[in-house]
């Protein structure tokens, strides 16, 4: 791919700005993406958030794309925009608006009602994206219309004619009409799909891409790699389908989402850890993949009602960068080794796998060990460099294997190592060896079994960094006349030889850094993999330097003789080593002058200490002055619901025709998120013995059923149960007496509409059926509520998915500044002794130094047999946690700075929904840091935190 005349591979990671609403933190994530060696970020736009009410398209505040675009441009990253209109993404409705449930006809097709529904959004978002295209000086290089649209999930019984070229054509025409000129790209859900491939006719995109999640989404077997999961023919498939288009993987598995009552984000991180990256990502490299987008590189949070029923509040995804933005997962560092190598290997950009097609002959090739597989990935333009991608033939093998690499080079055939010993491949590992590899402008590696991390020209010298696992033997040969080989530091070198214009070094990786001079201008640094993790190559275009430092280096900028470094430290003291061009006489670290010492091999060393001990003193949540109110006053006999919307629609456009006298589907009345409350008024005949109902809220939902002020039945939730039948035995009721049935149900988000023409996003939330045992004639008049205003939501700052239908939320009591003088005193750790809802609130101060990046989490603790309750967490009015005591797995809820005030007052709200007859209380609830680093990132700007004021029309 050529961008502004420069050929490159697109190394990209997925990030969704709406999952991290604090815009001033986007640049921090972008700098960490850039530090990996990546050059691009891919992002979805969420139609359902920006057009929650039909025709009311709102890209203001945290919903604005412009600050995200500006931050990418400042950081030097390209963007791939994925505006849908359908995005999937484990988000409510797959990113489509809730009002779509009322739009008849097939969605994601050329059906006129759908096209009319999505046109306004598509035009508006395209206008925004068009202004940010690279052709207009912006960072956007590609746009993806639709999402995973090349496959009808219900084949062979697809509900609509398939494929849908007219729809794809219409969608792209709308985008082009609003100014989109950069290439469009697809992401086929399976690599064999061929719909809309370039040149295929109407609806074709410019670049064919596809997704690959080889280990799937079940993270409870983190060490299990099933046979056959490693793809071996993707280059061939793409070549044949796309007519020679570059191989592009638009969603490359970087983790998986946590599931209610099942596995956590950390489980998914373990499943797709550093060994997964080494084997699978290098395998993708063997396909000459020129667009690689990791889903998710940074996941963020499903705050408020963003999630679909598929997942929990956290969208950490087990990715390389945690939800908290911390970098303590090894997979981040391993990914950096791979990306930085590709960054300095331009020959890769014009490669082709020679022995994968037309016959796949990788198994048993180019080594003396038949249990290994090697892809010969050759530069077919320069006709010199070859990348030898080696793995176990049984990719999931746990056994170590010894071998000799047997390859052709420009100087003939070699069996490597030539100076004695054998190479070794660990179980579940892969390596990229090279031959005829040019570097440094005028230097060439004849072959190297040691893997290259990077190289840089620093003045007249070239630094080459090679790495491997401790104990491994490797050999590297250079094409150069006889020169002196001298060890300046370390003990890795075993032997060397210089003959016939080839200088060979043979070395065993040790726990110490080895520096070898090969001639006057080449310095070879040999390190073990863990030490290689500490090497950073910040912005080589601006100021060539290689920096060895713990945790993170963000930038290195040279001005005259001074080198200014920006970095983060997660330890109180560190020694930092810099390899820079001659002439550097002074340096600063985060603006502080440092004292430089020069090593025997020419690098610069300096010591740094943090300004604090990186320890935080956080307030005890147990000791706060907690106040509470009854969060379910609807159970009081004098409660007035006359202002509530009537659930009186006789006809519904929902594909599931209501089986109740009037529709009891919440989306028919504009309520698409949070808890939903139903109140059914009836006059008793005297014969009613029980009330039976079927409630649907999405997988893992819960529900409580009340008659007047007594709970009749409840359901605490099961991870894969989306609807449930409840039966409440009624006390004896007098004929003619008035009663109220109250149903409190959780809304877990709307389903994702995976397939074209499907109706999954229209699956209703609400009451599907009800009746009275003993009295068929009893009539019920229903009212309902969700968030105050429904689609005309009240809090325009925090947005449409922040609030649900419970009393405290309707009143806005989750916001700061509420007058709690009339509230009761009591802590959520004391709880309630009966079923129902209590809303608790308290305030506390934080005073965290501004030079610390220290994400803080609110954490719950429960015994192995907890009471059954649910709890919503509000921080300064923002809903950032949904906790289910009986399900988990999430118990820790990181709150971004900017939502949480690190220097100032904070208001925390807890909405405790107790279901057991004995009530419920929190066993523990506390603050904890999820990382503390001294940082050089820009100061965080808090999001607006509107304070409480009486709400007009609140009921």
Q: Please list the active-site residues.
A: 148, 251
- Peptide bond connecting 265 to the previous residue in cis, omega within 30 degrees of 0: no
How far is 217 from 234, CA to CA, in rounded Å? 21
Alpha helices by DSSP H, listed for 422-500, are: none
For the beta sheet containing 514-518, the strands, ordered from the edge strand earlier in sequence to the opposite edge, are 451-458, 461-468, 522-528, 514-518, 485-489
Convert 394-416 to b/e letters by CB count within 10 Å (16 or more is b). Answer: ebbbeeebebbbebebeeeebeb
How far is 736 from 718, CA to CA, in rounded Å? 38
Chain Cα centroid distance, residue 254 = 9
SS3 547: strand
Q: What DSSP state is assigned to residue 27?
A: H
Chain Cα centroid distance, residue 949 = 35
User: Which helix (H) or strand (E) element contains residue 121?
Assistant: helix 112-131
How far is 750 from 306, CA to CA, in rounded Å? 10
Chain Cα centroid distance, residue 141 = 21
Residue 619 sits at the vertex; the CA angle it makes with 617 and 624, to the nearest 5 degrees, is 170
- Phi, psi angle pair for 146, to nearest 5°: 60, -170
DSSP per-residue letters across 282-304: HHHHHTTEEEEEEETSB--B--T
DSSP per-residue letters across 577-602: EEEE-TT--EEEETTEEE--EE-TTS
Q: What DSSP state is assigned to residue 167?
A: H
Contacts of 166 (CB under 8 A, 6+ apart): 110, 202, 203
How far is 745 from 804, CA to CA, in rounded Å? 11
Find out whether 165 and 184 touch, Cβ atoms under 8 Å.
no
How far is 469 from 635, CA to CA, in rounded Å? 65
Q: Where are the beta strands (DSSP E) in 46-136?
A: 78-84
- Phi, psi angle pair for 12, to nearest 5°: -130, 155
How far is 188 from 941, CA to CA, in rounded Å? 39
Q: Take residue 639 and report the two structure tokens written for it.
A: 């409660």
How far is 500 from 447, CA to CA, in rounded Å? 15
Tokens 């499907």 correspond to what residue?
Answer: 758
Question: Assign residue 241 a region: left if phi > 0, alpha if psi is -120 to 50, beta otherwise?
Answer: alpha
Contacts of 740 (CB under 8 A, 6+ apart): 679, 680, 681, 682, 707, 708
DSSP per-residue letters across 328-342: --HHHHHHHHHHHHH
* β-pair type (869-875, 878-884): antiparallel
- Long-range CB contacts (< 8 A, 24+ apart) of 434-437? 434/345, 434/385, 434/386, 434/387, 434/388, 435/385, 435/386, 435/388, 435/407, 435/408, 435/409, 435/410, 436/384, 436/385, 436/386, 436/409, 436/410, 437/345, 437/347, 437/385
């Amino acid at each position: 791919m050529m961008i502004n005349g420069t050929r490159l591979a697109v190394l990209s990671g997925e990030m969704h700005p709406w999952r991290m609403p604090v815009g001033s933190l986007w640049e921090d994530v972008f700098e960490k993406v850039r530090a990996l060696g990546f050059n691009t970020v891919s992002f979805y736009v969420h139609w359902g958030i920006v057009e929650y009410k039909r025709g009311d398209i709102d890209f203001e505040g945290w919903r604005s794309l412009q600050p995200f675009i500006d931050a990418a441009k400042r950081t030097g990253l390209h963007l791939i925009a994925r505006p849908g209109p359908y995005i999937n993404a484990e988000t409510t409705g797959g990113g489509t608006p809730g009002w779509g449930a009322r739009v008849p006809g097939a969605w994601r097709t050329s059906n006129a009602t759908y096209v009319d529904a999505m046109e306004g959004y598509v035009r508006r978002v395209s206008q925004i994206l068009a202004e940010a295209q690279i052709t207009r000086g912006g960072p956007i290089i590609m746009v993806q219309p639709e999402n995973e649209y090349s496959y009808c999930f219900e084949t062979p019984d697809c509900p609509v004619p398939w494929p849908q070229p007219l729809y794809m054509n219409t969608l792209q025409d709308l985008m082009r009409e609003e100014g989109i000129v950069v290439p469009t790209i697809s992401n086929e859900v399976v690599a064999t799909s061929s719909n809309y491939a370039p040149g295929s006719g109407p609806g074709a995109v410019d670049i064919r891409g596809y997704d690959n999640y080889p280990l799937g989404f079940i993270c409870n077997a983190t060490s299990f790699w099933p046979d056959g999961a490693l793809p071996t023919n993707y280059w061939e498939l793409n070549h044949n389908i796309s007519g020679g288009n570059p191989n592009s993987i638009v969603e490359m598995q970087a983790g998986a989402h946590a599931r209610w009552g099942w596995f956590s984000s950390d489980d998914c991180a373990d499943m797709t850890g550093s060994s997964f990256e080494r084997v699978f990502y290098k395998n993708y490299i063997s396909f000459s993949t020129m667009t690689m987008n990791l889903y998710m590189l940074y996941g963020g949070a499903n705050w408020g009602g963003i999630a679909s029923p598929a997942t929990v509040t956290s969208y950490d995804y087990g990715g390389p960068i945690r939800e908290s933005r911390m970098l303590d997962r090894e997979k981040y560092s391993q990914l950096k080794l791979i990306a930085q190598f590709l960054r300095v290997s331009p020959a890769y950009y014009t490669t082709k796998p020679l022995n994968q097609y037309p016959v796949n002959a990788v198994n048993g090739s180019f080594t003396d060990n038949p249990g290994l597989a090697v892809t010969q990935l050759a530069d077919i333009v320069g006709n010199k460099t070859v990348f030898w991608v080696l793995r176990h033939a049984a990719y999931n093998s746990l056994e170590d294997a010894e071998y000799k690499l047997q390859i052709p080079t420009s100087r003939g055939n070699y069996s490597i190592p030539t100076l004695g010993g054998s190479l070794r491949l660990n179980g579940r590992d892969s390596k990229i060896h090279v031959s005829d590899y040019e570097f440094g402008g005028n230097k060439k590696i004849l072959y190297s079994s040691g893997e290259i991390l990077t190289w840089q020209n620093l003045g007249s010298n070239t630094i080459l960094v090679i790495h491997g696992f401790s104990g491994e033997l490797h050999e590297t040969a250079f094409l150069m006349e006889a020169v002196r080989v001298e060890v300046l530091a370390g003990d890795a070198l075993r032997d060397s030889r210089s003959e016939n214009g080839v200088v060979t070094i043979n070395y065993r990786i040790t726990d110490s850094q080895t520096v070898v001079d090969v001639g006057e201008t080449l310095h070879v640094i040999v390190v073990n993999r863990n030490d290689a993790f500490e090497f950073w190559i910040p912005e080589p275009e601006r100021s060539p330097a290689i920096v060895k430092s713990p945790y993170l280096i963000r930038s290195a900028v040279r001005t005259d003789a001074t080198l200014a470094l920006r970095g983060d430290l997660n330890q109180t003291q560190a020694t930092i080593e810099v390899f820079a061009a001659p002439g550097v006489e002074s340096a600063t670290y985060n603006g502080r002058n440092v004292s430089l010492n020069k090593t025997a091999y020419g690098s610069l060393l300096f010591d740094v200490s943090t300004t604090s001990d990186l320890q935080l003193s956080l307030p005890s949540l147990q000791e706060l002055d907690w106040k509470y109110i009854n969060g379910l006053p609807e159970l009081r006999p004098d409660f007035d619901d006359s202002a509530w919307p009537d659930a009186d629609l006789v006809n519904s456009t929902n594909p599931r025709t209501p089986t109740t006298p009037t529709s009891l589907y919440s989306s028919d009345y504009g309520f698409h998120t949070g808890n939903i409350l139903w109140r059914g008024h009836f006059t008793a005949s005297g014969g009613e013995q029980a009330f039976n109902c079927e409630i649907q809220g999405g997988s893992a939902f819960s529900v409580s059923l009340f008659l007047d002020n007594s709970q009749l039945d409840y359901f605490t939730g099961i991870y894969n149960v989306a609807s449930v039948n409840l039966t409440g035995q009624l006390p004896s009721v007098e004929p003619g007496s008035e009663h109220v049935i109250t149903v409190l149900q959780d809304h877990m988000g709307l389903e994702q509409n995976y397939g074209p023409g499907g109706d999954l996003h229209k699956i209703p939330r609400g009451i599907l059926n009800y009746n009275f045992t003993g009295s068929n004639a009893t009539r019920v008049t229903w009212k309902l509520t969700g968030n105050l205003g429904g689609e005309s939501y009240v809090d325009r700052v925090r947005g449409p998915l922040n609030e649900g239908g419970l009393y405290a939320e309707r009143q806005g009591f989750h916001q700061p500044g509420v007058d709690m003088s009339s509230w009761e005193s009591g802590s959520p750790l004391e709880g309630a002794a009966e079923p129902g809802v209590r809303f608790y609130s308290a305030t506390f101060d934080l005073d965290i130094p501004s030079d610390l990046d220290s994400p803080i989490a609110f954490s719950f603790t429960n015994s192995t047999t907890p009471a059954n309750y649910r709890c919503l967490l509000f921080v300064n009015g923002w809903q950032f946690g949904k906790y289910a005591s009986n399900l988990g797995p999430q118990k820790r809820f990181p709150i971004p700075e900017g939502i949480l005030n690190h220097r100032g007052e904070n208001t925390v709200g807890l909405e405790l929904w107790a279901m057991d007859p004995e009530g419920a209380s929190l066993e523990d609830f506390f603050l904890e840091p999820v990382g503390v680093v001294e940082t050089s990132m820009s100061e965080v700007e808090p999001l607006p935190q509107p304070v409480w004021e009486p709400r007009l029309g609140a009921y």
